[in-house]
Amino acid sequence: MKSKTEKLLDELVKLHPKYIDLSLDRLKLLLKKLDNPQDHLPKTIHIAGTNGKGSVQSFIRNILLKNGYKCDAYISPHLSRFNERIILNNKEVSTKKLYETLKFVKTINNNKPITFFEITTAAAFILFKQSKSDFLILETGLGGRLDATNIIPKKICSILTPISFDHEEFLGKTLKKIANEKLGIVKNCKFVLVGKQKKELKDHIQKKLNKFENKYFYGKEYRVTKSLKNKFQIKIDGKNYFYSQPSLNGKHQEENASISIYFAKIMKNMGYRLNTKDINAAIKKTTWPGRLEIINYKHKKIILDGSHNIDGADKLNEFLKTERIKPIVLFGMLNNKKANLFLNKIKKRVSKVLAIEIPDEKNSFKTKQINEICNVHSIKCEQINNINDALKYFRSNQQKIYLITGSLYLIGKIRKKLL
């Protein structure tokens, strides 16, 4: 049975406009009625990119918290419940406060057409305004230029994590067009920090950022130069430094951590109190659920990875290769994603695919469709009816290692049953 908050969220979904005009006009009108809370936010760090936004956000948040600052965060999507999206001084917003704020914003909106992300972002801005924290980390929902979070008037920093293909139907069919949308957040900020990018994007992004004086690129000002078992080396402005290996799995997390470390260096140079020892401790202890997360379940090892695009498949494939494992894979994906290319990327690291339809997601690939894709790539495949049957399979099968991937929505549905 749904809670009153879940029912309210369902009501907000129904306000979705029949025609999407791809502008921020609806949100501007609503925020004006709400007395423009976006103008009164904590010092803001804004993050856009295709992959790595959540990990970078988590690293930076932990660095700031470890150094004694109060820090809020805005994250999407959530895994299990909506509260996860709004973090107030490192705690999920309470259900009572969330419900009251959403109800207030819905009343002010007066049933006018608006997207779910726009109206919930307006509610989040009210909560962040009230929190009085030192910092706020905002993740974009989709793209950047026309993303609801991009309505904020100023920020300390704009960060671009790695950019690759995803949401092409909204952002464009080429990497440069997608990058241009992500670059839309780069405005009214004190500095810009660019993560590792594909070769064909480096010059393009650099040219687009020429008008900004304070900009820092992975590979120029900072980069990971050595990876060891318990630590990794970063070259920062020509000098080498060692930091503890992140607790997050995957070598790409060293690159995500390096963004946050360089962010901390710049902030320290700007006069903020950030201790190197605390930065190191924060990197070591950062967690981020559903991203190459390993859970022990009934004497089995379950790897949860919400990768759903080709770049994510590459990183997942590299992790499986490095770990020398060939798991059985529970795979579900939304049908606007490229399941064919994704499975082709990881097929050599897979012993078998269990095809599943993501529960309560009408736009999920059907198990029969996944089975057909697996046949094309000569991957063994078995169709699974539901999550309970998948868990039964895990428990009864002799295989010790399983991977669940293809969608954060799938991860969210199953993770709570594994814990």
Within 215-334, residue ranges assigned H as helices are: 252-269, 276-285, 310-323
Q: E strand or H helix at 368, and its extent? A: helix 367-376
Indicate if 253 and 395 belong to the same structural domain.
no
Task: Give me the residue label for tokens 């590459």.
Answer: 314
- Output 265-269 pairs: Cβ under 8 A, ≥24 positions apart: 265/236, 266/157, 266/191, 266/193, 266/216, 267/156
pLDDT in tens, 299-329: 999 999 999 999 999 999 999 999 999 999 9
Question: Tell me, what amino acid is at 289?
Answer: P
User: Pairing mode, if any, of strands 231-236 and 135-139?
Assistant: unpaired
Please classify residue 90 by burial: count the beta carbons closer than 10 Å to its beta carbon, then call 0-12 exposed, 13-18 middle and 19+ buried: middle
pLDDT value at residue 149: 97
Indicate if 119 and 84 belong to the same structural domain.
yes
Rounded Cα–Cα distance for residues 294 and 282 (Å): 20
Indicate if 19 and 74 belong to the same structural domain.
yes
b/e per residue, 357-389, with b = 16+ CB within 10 A?
A: bbeebeebbebebbbebbeebebebebbeebee
- Pick the last residue of a domain from 221, 256, 285: 285
Give the pLDDT band (50/70/90) at residue 167. Answer: confident
Indicate if 255 and 338 belong to the same structural domain.
no
Question: What are the helix and strand counts (H, E) for the chain?
Answer: 15, 17
Pick 17 or 404 by higher pLDDT: 404
Indicate if 281 and 313 belong to the same structural domain.
no
pLDDT of 214 higher than 70: yes
pLDDT value at residue 1: 80
Instruction: Specify the CATH number for the domain of residue 161.
Output: 3.40.1190.10
pLDDT of 169 higher than 90: no
* Structure letter (DSSP) for residue 340: H
Instruction: Specify the CATH number for the domain of residue 384.
Output: 3.90.190.20
Give the pLDDT band (50/70/90) at residue 17. Answer: confident
**Number of other CB atoms surrounding residue 15 within 10 Å:** 17
Indicate if 268 and 333 belong to the same structural domain.
no
Per-residue CA distances from 183 to 42, 131, 154, 172, 213 (Å):
22, 28, 15, 13, 15
pLDDT in tens, 253-288: 999 999 999 999 999 999 999 999 999 999 999 999
- Output 14-17 pairs: Cβ under 8 A, ≥24 positions apart: 15/109, 15/111, 15/112, 15/113, 15/114, 15/115, 15/116, 15/119, 16/113, 16/114, 16/115, 16/116, 17/113, 17/114, 17/115
Indicate if 299 and 279 belong to the same structural domain.
no
Q: Which two tokens stand for residue 350?
A: 């897979």
b/e per residue, 151-177, with b = 16+ CB within 10 A?
A: bbeebbbbbbbbbbbbeeeebbeebee
Of all residues in the chain, the percent with pLDDT exceeding 70 is 99
pLDDT value at residue 171: 86
pLDDT value at residue 116: 95
Cα maximum dimension of the chain: 60
Task: Give me the residue label for tokens 């495949």.
Answer: 381
pLDDT in tens, 69-93: 999 999 999 999 999 999 999 999 9
Indicate if 138 and 239 belong to the same structural domain.
yes
Domains: count for the chain:
2
Give the pLDDT band (50/70/90) at residue 21. Answer: low
Listing DSSP states for 236-249 in one string gives ETTEEEEEEPPSSS
- Closest listed residue to residue 53, CA positions, set 155, 148, 232, 193: 193
As a whole number, mean pLDDT of residues 135-143 equals 94
- Pick the last residue of a domain from 232, 255, 285: 285
Indicate if 124 and 35 belong to the same structural domain.
yes
pLDDT value at residue 211: 87
Indicate if 41 and 93 belong to the same structural domain.
yes
pLDDT in tens, 39-48: 999 999 999 9
Q: Which domain holds residue 322?
A: 293-418
Pick 407 or 23 by higher pLDDT: 407
Indicate if 299 and 272 belong to the same structural domain.
no
Length of the chain: 419
- Closest listed residue to residue 183, CA positions, set 144, 137, 150, 154: 144
As a whole number, mean pLDDT of residues 329-344 equals 96
pLDDT value at residue 20: 63
Indicate if 297 and 280 belong to the same structural domain.
no
- Pick the last residue of a domain from 285, 309, 341: 285
Name 336's Cβ contacts closer than 8 Å, sequence gap at least 6: 169, 363
pLDDT of 19 higher than 80: no
Q: E strand or H helix at 328, and its extent? A: strand 328-331
pLDDT of 165 higher than 90: no
Name 284's Cβ contacts closer than 8 Å, sequence gap at least 6: 244, 245, 246, 247
